[in-house]
Amino acid sequence: MTPRAVRTPSNTGPGSGSGPGLGPGPGSGPRPPPPPPPHYPTLSTGRSPGSPYAGSNSSGNSHGSGDSWARRRERDHDVNQLTRELWDTRRQLTAMRVREQAILDDLERLGERPESRDRNGVGSREALLRSEADVRAERARRLRAERALSDVERECTAPFVVPALFQAFMSISELS
């Protein structure tokens, strides 16, 4: 529903565009409503109640209050901007990887040996995984040795094993 123009002395006097002797001209008469704000398509991250992009809600009213509409529009704008930045960054990373490979190929063609290709790449991760596996294996060996040692110590309390044999076992374990 649009408001109707009501003529009052303040809007019909001189300078209002409709006073005596001025007649119809540019700026006289009712003005058309301003055009709606431009519609920018947005990426939706899910349905939000009342969003015109997400379909109608249960009441059938797809328009919320002006403030919430502005907040949704600003949020959609921010999401779109960040999404564009993310894709630009990914595109740049891909281009840089291709350029890196071209430089490495040129260095190899010239007979130069470039420094480690995998300083922060897949090779480093694989080396880290191998090191972690080695640490786990070493821990398992240490636990087995500690259990064996505790068995020997139990034997020493009630000497079933000769104490000299225990000392020999201890000296051998210190060597390895």
Q: Write out the DSSP string of 54-101.
A: S---TTS-----HHHHHHHHHHHHHHHHHHHHHHHHHHHHHHHHHHHH
Q: Mapping DSSP to helix (H, G, I), strand (E, B) and coil, where does residue 141 land?
A: helix
At 39-80, the pLDDT tens digits run: 555 555 554 555 454 444 444 445 556 688 889 999 999 999
Q: How far apart are CA 134 and CA 132, in angstroms?
A: 5
* Range with the poorest average pLDDT among 19-23, 30-34, 42-46, 76-80: 19-23
Q: Which of 38-42, 49-53, 154-158, 168-172 is least confident?
A: 49-53
Regarding pTM above 0.95, the answer is no
**Tokens at residue 95, please?**
């281009």
Residue 107 token pair:
């260095």
Q: Say how far residue 167 (Cα) sits from the centre of its chain.
A: 60
Instruction: Report domain extents, the chain.
Output: 122-171
CA-CA-CA-CA dihedral for 59, 61, 64, 69, to nearest 10: 130
* Residue with token string 């596996």: 133
